[in-house]
Chain A
Amino acid sequence: MSTTDITLTAVEDSETTPLTPGQIFRQRLFGHTGFLIGASIILAIVVVAIFAPLIAPHDPYVQSLSTRMLPPVWSEGGSWEHLLGTDQNGRDYLSRLIYGTRVSITIGIGAATVGLMIGVTLGVMAGYFGGWIDHAISFLLTAQLALPGLLLAMALVFIIGPSIWVVIGIVGVLHWTYYLVVTRAATQRIRNLDFVAAAKASGASSRQIIWHEILPNLASSIIVIFTFELGIAILAESSLSFLGVGIQPPIPSWGLMIAEGKQAMFYRPWLVVLPGICLFLLVIGANLMGDGLRDITSPEGRNE
Chain B
Amino acid sequence: MSLLDIQNLDVTLALPNGPLKAVRDVTLTLEPGESLGIVGESGSGKSMTALALMRLLPRSATCEAEALRFDGQELRDLGDPAFARQIAGPRIGMIFQEPMTSLNPVYTIGRQMTEATVARGLLSEAEARRKAIDLLDRVGIPDPEGRMNQFPHQMSGGQRQRVMIAMTLMLDPELLIADEPTTALDVTVQAQILDLLDDLRRERGMGLILISHDLAVVAERTDRVAVMYLGEMVEQGTAQEVLYHPQHDYTKALLAAIPRLDGPARVPAQEAAAPEVEKVISATNLCREFHSRKGLFGPKKTVRALDDVSLELRRGETLAVIGESGSGKSTLARILLGLDLPDAGDVRMLGRPVLDLPGAERASLVQPVFQDPYTSLNPRRRLSEIISRPLVLRGEGDSASRLAAVKDAMEKVRLPGRLIHAYPSQLSGGQRQRVAIARALITEPEALICDEPTSALDVSVQAQILELLDDLRAKMGLTCLIITHDMAVVHEIADRVAVMYQGRVVEEGSASAVLDHPSNDYTARLLAAAPRFGATRDLEVVQ
Give the distance to chain B from A170, nearest Cβ to Cβ, in Å.
31
Q: B430 in the interface, Cβ–Cβ < 8 Å?
A: yes
* Residue contact A202 to B393, C-beta cutoff 8 Å: yes
Find the B residue at minimum CB distance from A214: B378
Q: Is B436 an interface residue when CB atoms closer than 8 A count as contact?
A: yes
Query: Do A198 and B439 touch across chains, with their CB atoms under 8 A apart?
Result: yes
- Interface set, chain A 281-304, CB cutoff 8 A to B: 302-304
Residues of A within 8 A of B430 (CB): 12
B380 partner residues in chain A, CB cutoff 8 A: 21, 216-217, 219
Question: Which chain B positions have C-beta within 8 A of A77?
Answer: none
- Residue in A closest to B375 when the chains form the complex, CB atoms: A193
A217: B residues at CB distance < 8 A: 378-380
Contact of A21 among B377, B379, B418, B419 (CB under 8 A): B379
Chain A residues within an 8 Å CB radius of B252: 4
Complex interface: chain A residues within 8 A of B126 (CB):
none
Contacting residue for B374 out of A9, A19, A219, A304, CB 8 A: A304
Interface size on B, as a range, is 35 or more
Whether A194 contacts B296 by the Cβ 8 Å rule is: no
Task: Give the docked Cα–Cα distance between A11 and B431 (Å).
Answer: 12
Q: Which single residue of chain A is at the shortest CB-CB distance from B358?
A: A203
Bound-state CA distance A193–B375 (Å) is 6
Residue contact B394 to A198, C-beta cutoff 8 Å? no
Q: Do A4 and B249 have beta carbons less than 8 Å apart? A: yes
Name the B residues within 8 Å of A11 (CB-CB): 230, 428
A7–B249 touching, CB < 8 Å = yes
B426 contact set on A, CB distance < 8 A: 17-20
Whole-angstrom distance from the CB of A5 to the nearest CB of chain B? 8
Complex interface residues of chain B between 293 and 322 (CB less than 8 A to chain A): 296
A273 in contact (CB, < 8 A): no
With A17-B426, A203-B393 already in contact, the answer to whether A197 and B360 are too (CB < 8 A) is: no
Chain B CB within 8 A of A164 CB? no
- B253, B374, B461: which has the most chain A beta carbons within 10 Å? B253
Instruction: Specify the chain A residue showing the minimal Cβ separation from B371.
Output: A194
Interface size bucket, A side? 35 or more
Known A8-B257, A198-B436; contact A193-B376, beta-carbon cutoff 8 A: yes
A13 to B386: give the CA distance in the assembly, Å: 20
Instruction: Kindly state whether residue A199 has any CB partner on chain B within 8 Å.
Output: yes
- On whether A202 and B378 interact (CB within 8 A), knowing A7-B250, A8-B460, A12-B428, the answer reads no
CB distance from B359 to the nearest CB of A (A): 3
Binary contact readout A196-222 vs B (1 if CB under 8 angstroms, 0 otherwise): 011111111100100011001101000
A180-203 vs B, CB cutoff 8 Å, 1 = contact: the mask equals 000000000000011101111111
Interface centre among B372, B374, B378, B393, by most chain A C-beta atoms within 10 angstroms, is B378
- Within the complex, what minimum Cβ distance (angstroms) separates A216 from chain B? 4
The answer to whether A160 has its CB under 8 Å from any CB of chain B is no
Q: Give Cα A17 to B252, complex, Å.
A: 28
Answer whether residue B425 sits at the interface, using C-beta atoms and an 8 A cutoff: yes
Q: For B439, what are the chain A residues with a Cβ–Cβ distance below 8 Å? A: 198
Q: When A and B form their complex, what is the total count of cross-chain residue pairs whose Cβ atoms lie within 8 Å?
A: 117
> Does B522 touch A at the CB level, under 8 Å?
no
Within 8 A of A (CB), among B342-369: 358-363, 366-368
Of chain B, the residue at the smallest CB distance from A8 is B460
Contact in complex: B366, A201 (CB < 8 Å):
yes
Q: Which residue of B lies closest to A304 (CB)?
A: B425
What is the CB-to-nearest-CB distance from A17 to chain B, in angstroms, rounded to a whole number? 6
Of chain B, the residue at the smallest CB distance from A18 is B426
**Which residues from chain B contact A212 at a C-beta distance below 8 Å?**
389
Beta-carbon contact of A195 and B394 below 8 Å = no
Given contacts A197-B368, A201-B338, A203-B393, contact A12 B378 (CB under 8 A): no
| Chain A residues closer than 8 Å to B419, beta-carbon distance | 17
Return the CB mask of A207-251 against B: 1 if under 8 Å, else 0.
Answer: 010001100110100000000000000000000000000000000
Question: Does A1 count as interface, using CB distance less than 8 angstroms?
Answer: yes
Once bound together, how far apart are the Cα atoms of A217 and B367, in whole Å?
23
Q: Are A195 and B425 in contact, with the CB atoms below 8 A?
A: no
Q: Given A20-B423, A303-B425 in contact, is the A4-B376 Cβ separation under 8 Å? A: no
Partner of B375, one of A1, A21, A195: A195
Chain A, 16-49, CB within 8 A of any chain B CB = 17-21
Q: Is B170 an interface residue (CB 8 A)?
A: no
The 0/1 profile, CB within 8 Å of A marked 1, for residues 413-439 of chain B is: 000101100110110101100001001
B230 & A7 in contact (Cβ 8 Å cutoff): no
Q: Which residues of B contact A198 (CB under 8 A)?
A: 368, 370, 376, 436, 439-440
Residues of B within 8 A of A (CB): 230, 249-250, 252-253, 256-257, 296, 334, 337-339, 358-363, 366-368, 370-372, 374-381, 386, 389-390, 393-394, 416, 418-419, 422-423, 425-426, 428, 430-431, 436, 439-440, 443, 460-461, 463-464, 467
- The 8 A-B residue pairs with the shortest CB-CB distance, nearest first, are A203-B359, A194-B376, A4-B253, A194-B370, A202-B390, A216-B380, A203-B360, A8-B460
Q: List 21 A-B contacts (CB under 8 A).
A: A1-B256, A1-B467, A4-B252, A5-B253, A8-B250, A8-B460, A8-B461, A11-B230, A13-B416, A20-B422, A21-B380, A194-B371, A194-B376, A195-B376, A195-B377, A198-B370, A199-B389, A202-B393, A202-B443, A217-B379, A219-B380
Interface residues of chain A, those whose CB is within 8 Å of chain B, are: 1, 4-5, 7-9, 11-13, 17-21, 135, 193-195, 197-205, 208, 212-213, 216-217, 219, 302-304
A8-B460, A304-B425 given; name 13 further pairs at CB < 8 Å: A8-B461, A13-B416, A194-B375, A195-B386, A200-B338, A201-B366, A202-B363, A203-B358, A203-B390, A208-B393, A212-B389, A216-B380, A219-B380
